[in-house]
Chain A
Amino acid sequence: EPEVTQTPSHQVTQMGQEVILRCVPISNHLYFYWYRQILGQKVEFLVSFYNNEISEKSEIFDDQFSVERPDGSNFTLKIRSTKLEDSAMYFCASSLGEQFFGPGTRLTVL
């Protein structure tokens, strides 16, 4: 069964560093998403992406964040200058209708 994959599973970085989280969505899906879950809190929507552009973004998704689909298969989330409060589990999802989620990348900012 096709699935969404994410790499790395765990990323540790220093505050102020740039990180890129990678996702490979299900191949025939058209919509792509990033969500995050800070420990002990709800899963929060960050951004949706369709037809090579952002469809919707939340208040969390500020200028420090960007997304890209560089090669037709990968979907990336870049955080330019990480802050301590960016530490969270980041989930990628893709859909044609229902959203299927990847296993997540745990980002730890020290």
Chain B
Amino acid sequence: GEDVEQSLFLSVREGDSSVINCTYTDSSSTYLYWYKQEPGAGLQLLTYIFSNMDMKQDQRLTVLLNKKDKHLSLRIADTQTGDSAIYFCAERVGGGYQKVTFGIGTKLQVIP
């Protein structure tokens, strides 16, 4: 079955790059996602990558996918205090109606 693992905590200084890592188990994942959750708020879809891609860039965000190692990462360039949040890695196996399986979330703390 699907399982997604990620580290619990990351602390970076404002202006540095953050790299949040994730591993997943299901090699038939079709999409991999990064969601952001700010305190008291819902899950905001940040970005996603299709499984036949190995990189996607969207402004300050870079997603890298290593399908062989089942490893996904999210790089945030020039991290700001507003980036402090919990970041969830997630995968979807199959078509658009299928469930999403989440990791436990990495809490990113940005130190001014």
Chain A contacts to B: CB under 8 angstroms: 4, 6, 30-31, 33, 35, 41-45, 48, 50, 55-56, 58, 91, 93, 95-104
Contact = CB atoms under 8 A, between A and B. Distances in A.
Q: Is the interface of B mostly helix, strand, loop or mixed?
A: strand
B100 interface: yes
Contacts, number: 56
B99 A48 contact: yes
B104 interface: yes
Interface residues of B, number: 22
Interface of B: 4, 31, 33, 35, 41-45, 48, 88, 90, 96-105
Contacts of B45: 98-101
Contact of B42 (A30, A44, A58, A103): A103
Question: What are the 3 closest A-B residue pairs judged by CB atoms, nearest first?
Answer: A103-B42, A101-B43, A43-B102
